[in-house]
Amino acid sequence: MIVEPKVRGFICTTAHPEGCRKSVENQIAYVKASKRMEHLVHAPKKVLVLGCSTGYGLASRITAAFGYGAATLGVMFEKLATQKRTATPGYYNTKAFEEDAKAEGLYAKTLNGDAFSNEMKQQVIEVIKEDLGQVDYVIYSLAAPRRTDKSGVTYSSVLKTTNEPYTNKTLDLRTNEIKEVTIEPATDEEVASTIKVMGGEDWEDWISALSHAGVLSPNATTVAYSYIGPEITYPIYFHGSIGMAKKDLYDTAKRMSEEYKESGLRSIVSVNKALVTQASAAIPIVPLYISILYKVMKEKNLHEGCIEQMVRLFARLGSEKLETDKEGRIRMDDYEMREDVQEQVKTAWKAITTETVPFYADMEGYYKEFYHMFGFCYSDIDYTKDVEI
């Protein structure tokens, strides 16, 4: 099939196998070029990655495997190809990762299914017992719009404010026009549902299941990913429904650290930098902020993607003394939140109009990262050729 990008709304409905492989191999090359640090106190050896096929989860798995020689077990929820439709990008990413890992003698196995389900938890435990014995790192990088919990109830998340309607600038990604958008507040029920989907309950369920099954190593580390962002996005993010879920995530980390103190488990939330993802593209206001941020950070030579941040994160996790903020979180958004960066972003935010978008925002970089998620826009791939999907 000749595979071309087909964008509908905020997602691309096709994925290019060779482009996805290119993305994975670029990340592997970056990790290999970075300094290997197997001697660190908490270097990963056997790693479970929940949500392993794209974004931070994929970058975490690549860093653990090719930076530290770790065995990795991943859980993903991806669709395979049909006669008329490509697979989802995470499927092609994972296939490329597994092939490259096994070529270097690294253990790499992936289970495809609903990570929220009890069935998947039991399946993972069985594989760990049979293949690895125990795991010393558990990366929680799940991102889903809905979750069916262990009692069979399905909850859906919303991206809304929590107090009153919020109006600000946004970027229409179809036309590159600056428009005004108003976001309505969530109901109490919607906030509660968002916490159920994106909070810490399932993370805690995973750690409980793994611990009771005896497949967590002593002094293991578990990390979940979050975002805070600047004041511009606070009403829709930090103080919004998703922010309430992330607060629950922080509370869960503290609770688990206390509950599993005797086993030495470290439960950590890593606050990461704003990036182009399928989720962020759907949040009003955020794409405009990201495109301005990219321009500022690239000019200051501070820009990082998923893999650059995960290489830095694992080095911090492995060090003898873990540096955190007063809430106990690792701040991988330290470059983004630098005062000089945010002041320049604020200035651009106030001045930007439809006519000045090219001057204040890195739209080329934004779209390139968007299409790279699906394996497109690589200059050394011929997209006019048939490819096996």
Measured CA distances, 387 to 21, 45, 196, 378 (Å)? 13, 36, 40, 15
Measured CA distances, 56 to 48, 158, 162, 246, 312 (Å)? 14, 22, 27, 16, 12
Rg (CA), the chain: 20
Measuring CA to CA, which residue among 176, 209, 48, 24 is closest to residue 101?
24
Neighbours of 245 (CB within 10 A): 22
CB 164 within 8 A of CB 185: yes
CB 134 within 8 A of CB 102: no
Q: Specify which residues 74 forms β-bridges with.
A: 49, 110
Helix, coil or strand: residue 44: coil
Measuring CA to CA, which residue among 205, 243, 250 is closest to residue 223?
250
| Spatial distance between the Cα atoms of 190 and 185, rounded to a whole number of angstroms | 9
Measuring CA to CA, which residue among 157, 266, 147 is closest to residue 202?
147
> Which residues are designated catalytic?
237
| Spatial distance between the Cα atoms of 328 and 318, rounded to a whole number of angstroms | 16
